[in-house]
Chains A and B, each alone.
Chain A
Amino acid sequence: MSAFGRVTDAPASFVLVGARIVDPSLGTDAVGDLAVVAGRLVDPAAAPTDLPRLVGAGLLAMPALCDLHAHLREPGDGRTETIESGSRAAAHGGYATVCAMPNTDPPLDERARVALVVDLARDAACRVRVVAAATRGREGERMTEVGELIPLHIVGISDDGAAVASARVARGILAYLAPLDLPLIEHAEEPSLAVGAVMRSGRTATRLGLSGWPGSAELSMVERDIGLAKETGGWVHLTHLSTAAALEAVRRARARGTRVTCDVTPHHLALTDAWVAGDRGFAWEEPTGAVADPFRTPLDPELAYDSACRVNPPLPTREDALALLEGVADGTIDAIATDHAPHPRERKAVEFAAAAPGMIGLETALSVGLAAVEAGRLTLPDLVVAMATRPAALIGEERSLSPGALADLAVVDPQARWRVEPDALASSSTNTPLLGMELPGVVRLTVASGRITYRDGLDSAR
Chain B
Amino acid sequence: MIESLGTPPVADHAKAPTWRHRHLLDVDQLDHAEIERCLGLAIEMRSLRDRGERLDLLRSQIVGLAFAEASTRTRVSFEVAAAALGAQVVDLPIEASSVTKGESLIDTLRTLERTGVGTIVLRHAASGAPYLAARSVGARVVNAGDGTHAHPTQALLDALTLRDALGTLEGKRVAIVGDIGHSRVARSNIHLLTALGATVRLVGPPAWVRGFEDWPGVSISHELEEGLRDADAVMALRVQLERDAGGGVPTLREYTARWGLDEERMALAARDAPLLHPGPTNEGVEITPELAASPRSLIGRQVSNGVAVRMAVLALLAS
Set A203, A295, A298, A351: member contacting B128, Cβ < 8 A: A351
Cβ–Cβ < 8 Å partners of A302 in chain B: 135
Cβ–Cβ < 8 Å partners of A304 in chain B: 128, 131
Cβ contact within 8 Å between A212 and B211: yes
**Cβ of A256 under 8 Å from chain B:** no
Cβ contact within 8 Å between A201 and B211: yes
Cβ contact within 8 Å between B211 and A203: yes
Cβ contact within 8 Å between A209 and B184: yes
* CB-CB contacts below 8 Å: B130-186 with A: 131-132, 134-136, 146-150, 181, 184
**Cβ of A206 under 8 Å from chain B:** yes
Q: In the complex, how many residue pairs between chain A and chain B have their CB atoms under 8 Å apart?
A: 82
Cβ contact within 8 Å between B126 and A301: no
**Cβ of B318 under 8 Å from chain A:** no
Cβ contact within 8 Å between A354 and B128: no
Cβ contact within 8 Å between B127 and A350: no
Cβ contact within 8 Å between B127 and A206: no
Set A209, A295, A307: member contacting B127, Cβ < 8 A: A209
Contact mask B185-219 → A, CB, 8 Å, 1/0? 00100000000000000000000000110111000
**Cβ of A323 under 8 Å from chain B:** no
Measured CA separation A223–B216 after assembly (Å): 36
Set A209, A211, A351: member contacting B99, Cβ < 8 A: A351
Nearest B residue (CB) for A298: B28
A353-B126, A353-B127 are contacts. A301–B134 as well, Cβ < 8 Å?
Answer: yes
Nearest A residue (CB) for B183: A209
Cβ–Cβ < 8 Å partners of B131 in chain A: 299, 301, 304-305
Set B28, B105, B148, B150: member contacting A350, Cβ < 8 A: B105
Cβ–Cβ < 8 Å partners of A208 in chain B: 127-128, 149
Residue among A208, A210, A212, A295 with most chain B CB within 10 A: A295
Cβ contact within 8 Å between A351 and B105: yes
Measured CA separation A351–B124 after assembly (Å): 10
**Cβ of A284 under 8 Å from chain B:** no
Cβ contact within 8 Å between A299 and B26: yes
**Cβ of B29 under 8 Å from chain A:** yes
Cβ–Cβ < 8 Å partners of B148 in chain A: 209-211
A349-B106, A351-B132, A354-B99 are contacts. A210–B25 as well, Cβ < 8 Å?
Answer: no
Cβ contact within 8 Å between B214 and A305: no
Cβ contact within 8 Å between A354 and B126: yes
Q: A288: shortest Cβ distance to chain B, in Å?
A: 16
Residue among B25, B126, B187 with most chain A CB within 10 A: B126
Measured CA separation A201–B215 after assembly (Å): 15
Cβ contact within 8 Å between A295 and B29: no
Set A205, A206, A351: member contacting B129, Cβ < 8 A: A351
Cβ–Cβ < 8 Å partners of B29 in chain A: 298-299, 301
Cβ contact within 8 Å between A346 and B104: yes
Cβ contact within 8 Å between A209 and B187: yes
**Cβ of B277 under 8 Å from chain A:** no
Cβ contact within 8 Å between A296 and B105: no
Cβ contact within 8 Å between A209 and B150: yes
Nearest A residue (CB) for B194: A296
Cβ–Cβ < 8 Å partners of B187 in chain A: 207, 209
State how many residues of chain A have any CB contact under 8 Å with chain B.
28
Set B106, B135, B147: member contacting A301, Cβ < 8 A: B135
Contact mask A320-352 → B, CB, 8 Å, 1/0? 000000000000000000000000001001111
Measured CA separation A66–B78 after assembly (Å): 57
Cβ–Cβ < 8 Å partners of B184 in chain A: 209
A206-B212, A295-B214, A305-B131 are contacts. A350–B104 as well, Cβ < 8 Å?
Answer: yes
**Cβ of B23 under 8 Å from chain A:** yes
A351-B128, A352-B128 are contacts. A209–B147 as well, Cβ < 8 Å?
Answer: yes
Measured CA separation A346–B128 after assembly (Å): 17
State how many residues of chain B have any CB contact under 8 Å with chain A.
32
Cβ–Cβ < 8 Å partners of B215 in chain A: 206, 295
Measured CA separation A362–B34 after assembly (Å): 46
Cβ contact within 8 Å between B135 and A352: no
Q: A306: shortest Cβ distance to chain B, in Å?
A: 9
Cβ–Cβ < 8 Å partners of A295 in chain B: 214-216
**Cβ of A440 under 8 Å from chain B:** no
Q: B129: shortest Cβ distance to chain A, in Å?
A: 5
Cβ–Cβ < 8 Å partners of A351 in chain B: 99, 105, 124, 126, 128-129, 132
**Cβ of A202 under 8 Å from chain B:** yes
Q: B205: shortest Cβ distance to chain A, in Å?
A: 16
Measured CA separation A203–B132 after assembly (Å): 22
Nearest B residue (CB) for A307: B132
Q: B229: shortest Cβ distance to chain A, in Å?
A: 25
Measured CA separation A350–B102 after assembly (Å): 10
Cβ–Cβ < 8 Å partners of B135 in chain A: 301-302
Measured CA separation A137–B74 after assembly (Å): 47
Contact mask A203-236 → B, CB, 8 Å, 1/0? 1011111111000000000000000000000000
Nearest B residue (CB) for A293: B216
Cβ contact within 8 Å between A350 and B149: no
Nearest B residue (CB) for A198: B127
Cβ contact within 8 Å between B127 and A352: yes
A202-B211, A205-B211 are contacts. A352–B104 as well, Cβ < 8 Å?
Answer: no
Cβ contact within 8 Å between B104 and A210: no
Cβ–Cβ < 8 Å partners of B216 in chain A: 293, 295-296
Q: A196: shortest Cβ distance to chain B, in Å?
A: 11
Q: B220: shortest Cβ distance to chain A, in Å?
A: 12
Residue among B106, B127, B128, B215 with most chain A CB within 10 A: B128
* CB-CB contacts below 8 Å: B94-117 with A: 99, 104-106
Q: B94: shortest Cβ distance to chain A, in Å?
A: 12
What is the interface of chain B, defined by CB distance below 8 A to chain A? 23, 25-26, 28-29, 99, 104-106, 124, 126-129, 131-132, 134-136, 146-150, 181, 184, 187, 211-212, 214-216
In the complex, given contacts A206-B215, A296-B216, what are 19 additional A-B residue pairs having Cβ atoms less than 8 angstroms apart?
A: A201-B211, A206-B211, A208-B127, A209-B127, A209-B184, A295-B214, A295-B216, A298-B28, A299-B28, A301-B135, A302-B135, A305-B128, A349-B104, A349-B106, A349-B136, A350-B105, A351-B126, A352-B132, A353-B126
9 closest cross-chain pairs (CB), A and B: A305-B128, A209-B149, A206-B211, A351-B126, A209-B148, A209-B127, A295-B215, A298-B28, A354-B99
Listed A/B pairs (11) with beta-carbon separation below 8 Å: A203-B211, A206-B215, A209-B187, A210-B128, A210-B149, A296-B216, A298-B29, A301-B131, A301-B135, A349-B106, A353-B126
